[in-house]
Amino acid sequence: MKKFFGLMIIGLVLMMAPAMVMAASISGSVQGFQCVTQGKVCPVGMEDPVAAVENVFVVLVDAAKGDYYFVTNVDRAVMARHINQTVKVDGTVNAKLKSIKATDIFVGSKKVWSVNMEDDIYKDIFGELPLSPKGRN
């Protein structure tokens, strides 16, 4: 009986664990991580020099609070292309780690990046997707 209740408690804990990660959208401006951590906004009109010195870009959701999210699966070049632009990122948010695994990125109403777009280009170049013979898992 004790074993049953122990397994039941473990099962409940495991079911609650994914609650920290959920599908959502975030909106904000693309900024360099160093600018954000220093409480500055990337200088407007100086996007190219900022892109040259910044290694990591984030989506700044609330500048007053310093609230930002890392976009973990999008290349820095894609993010650098949109410095100081307001973007909407759809994906899986991890609030604890302040990150989002993006599925789509929009600037205004235009989709500028998605997992599907990246997969299609990869297939055009290499013939198949990485990670497995049948594509991404």
Q: Where are the domains of the chain?
A: 20-104
Mean local confidence (pLDDT), 2-29 = 67
Residue 101 scores a pLDDT above 70 = yes
Q: Does the predicted TM-score (pTM) go above 0.85? A: no
Whole-number pLDDT of residue 135: 47
In the chain, beta strands by DSSP E: 21-32, 57-62, 67-71, 86-94, 99-107, 110-114
Nearest to 41 by CA among 53, 56, 30: 30
Nearest to 80 by CA among 32, 20, 28, 46: 32
pLDDT greater at residue 121 or residue 13: 121
pLDDT bin (cut points 50, 70, 90) of residue 72 is: very high
Kind of pairing between the strands at 99-107 and 67-71:
parallel
pLDDT greater at residue 134 or residue 57: 57
In contact, 106 and 117? CB cutoff 8 Å: no
